[in-house]
Structure 1
């Protein structure tokens, strides 16, 4: 397999100008930081959905997409990802208020002061991506039964993921295409797998609402994207600046080589 000729349009990193190699390096570094922060945000958003903060599990994903089936959205959030955002006594007071029927008089005297002090910096309605907790009428919507992310929320997040991740892996894939990797089919598989994974990931959000075990597909697809990104990043950075030029690249005859790349 190592005897497969190099494509006449294939250029190894060592054949590229230093300016392009520096550009590739800068892009890879920034994208790796962005990917890291995305993972941190993902963990913060989904961990604790099952009532156990500090871990990200199958149950967390099922709860995120289908709801708890019992508690309200507000209670699920307070027991999960928002559990560290306010003192235990205030958290208990809000949950007790929800469970007792969410009456308006108690809201005005006990609950509203807590929300004004602890929650309004983020949940004042200025951010369309966060639950608006300003006022009794908005808050009462969050006390309804938790059914997970609604379809239109999934549609909004889906188009962001499909556009964003496709662009990220297109850029990383182009940079990785200059790497010398054999066999060629393996190199092609690493390039295409993130696009397959993001398709499975997004589609499985909807299927999880119908059949909970699809949450495993979400986890598998996310892990696949992460592994492919890490592999392409490490190989690209290593061959950009550390590894010597492959002998096949040095020896090839540019005029007649017309193999696969």
Structure 2
């Protein structure tokens, strides 16, 4: 009896236009996932002042560094090269000493106007640290991600990434050669680990011990998605070509 998997629509037998459509989507999504990884390295990965994602980076991003301020974390991390070491040290000491308005006007504001205003005074998504009231908030003890910000990022992440996984899974569902339970597991894993990832943000906000689950969630859905993307591309382009070569060789042998 012919395998039902091969008797209907599947990746190797798709028409050229459909293969082009699916391939374009998978390539763009794959590149997007790589860019997302790079963005994480340049933002969360610099939370502890060192390049590369670590447990401290996750803890500082969501739970915060309760021994210091967001200003100090940024000046020791992603903003370290924006001012001189002496200027960074002056701002850190100012924050640790209570962020007084007198010292702000005499010492800190001139540094901020010269080194920070070019971005923070003109980009709406960044805090306007040229204003004392905003700088006070940044100089306060770092309690990690704010609830409002975490809520906004969570719902965007869940909706947006779920759509990506849906179409990757839909394309992969047309693959051949996988046992049904393996195929179903690979399709479901990204959704499950996406929930683990986002839930871990909130749990880490309350307790830094949950930071491990952030890395587990991100690694889990990235690995499953990569397997589905590469398997789908292989079956659309390489598998039919290899099958055609086998048929040609068999004909020549006869």
* TM exceeding 0.5: yes
Between the aligned partners of 1:8 and 1:236, the Cα distance in structure 2 is 15
Alignment gaps of 5+ in structure 2: 244-254
> CA RMSD of the aligned region, Å?
2.1
Change (3 A) 1:165 1:23: same
* CA distances 1:158-198 after superposition (whole Å, capped 9, x unpaired): 00100110011111111111211321111111111000011
- Note if 1:181 corresponds to 2:177: yes
Matches within 5 A, 1:1-261: 5-7=3-5, 10-50=8-48, 52-124=49-121, 126-128=123-125, 130-244=126-240
Between the aligned partners of 1:7 and 1:241, the Cα distance in structure 2 is 18
**TM-score normalized by the length of structure 1:** 0.86
Q: Which has the higher contact order (CA 8 A, sep 6+)?
A: 1
Change (3 A) 1:66 1:9: farther
Alignment gaps of 5+ in structure 1: 248-261
Change (3 A) 1:110 1:27: same
**TM-score normalized by the length of structure 2:** 0.88
CA contact (8 A) 1:10 1:178 kept: no
Change (3 A) 1:181 1:161: farther
CA contact (8 A) 1:77 1:83 kept: yes
Q: Secondary structure at the match of 2:239?
A: coil
Between the aligned partners of 1:55 and 1:4, the Cα distance in structure 2 is 51
Between the aligned partners of 2:21 and 2:131, the Cα distance in structure 1 is 50
The count of corresponding residues between Structure 1 and Structure 2 is 243
CA contact (8 A) 2:64 2:144 kept: yes
Change (3 A) 1:126 1:222: same
* CA distances 1:192-245 after superposition (whole Å, capped 9, x unpaired): 100001111111111112232211111001001110121111111111111138
Give the superposition deviation at 1:32: 1.4
